């Protein structure tokens, strides 16, 4: 299994509070991704990173920010959590060199915003 660790695995918070989810990898892969999974919508891309300090938006990036100061860590921040951000968040990594490659996923972080 790819070495991907997400933390926290479960979190309950209140509307308006900041939340940071962490993805840590031990594979030294260049690409990292944050997805959210919701019933009826499947998995949707929030943000991705193609290197240290290199990030870009996905299809559902509003209300989220990311940072990647080290190869192994990719942080997802909800500056002011809303109930619509209640979801399961998945981190993924990929060693994409010359061609698009295989993505590997973490176990997910379940976030509930009350």
Contacts with other proteins by CB under 8 A lie at: 31, 33, 35, 40-45, 48, 50, 56, 58, 90, 92, 94, 96, 99-108
3-state secondary structure of 84: helix
The C-alpha torsion from 13 through 48 and 7 to 70, rounded to 10°, is: -130
* CB closer to other proteins out of 14 and 107: 107
CB of 25 to other proteins, least distance (A): 14
Least distance in angstroms from the C-beta of 6 to other proteins: 9
**For residues 14 and 83, what is the distance between their CA atoms, to the nearest angstrom?**
8
Q: What is the closest distance, in whole angstroms, from the C-beta atom of residue 108 to other proteins in the complex?
A: 5
């Amino acid at each position: 299994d790819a070495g991907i660790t997400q933390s926290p695995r479960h979190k309950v918070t209140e509307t308006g509070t900041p939340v940071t989810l962490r993805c840590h990898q031990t594979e030294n892969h260049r690409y990292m991704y944050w997805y959210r999974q919701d019933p009826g919508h499947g998995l949707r891309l929030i943000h991705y990173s193609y290197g240290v300090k290199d990030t870009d938006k996905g299809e559902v990036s509003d209300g989220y920010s990311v940072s990647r100061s080290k190869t192994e860590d990719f942080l997802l921040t909800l500056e002011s959590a809303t109930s619509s951000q209640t979801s399961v968040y998945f981190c993924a990594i990929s060693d994409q060199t010359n061609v698009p490659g295989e993505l590997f996923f973490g176990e997910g972080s379940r976030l509930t915003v009350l």
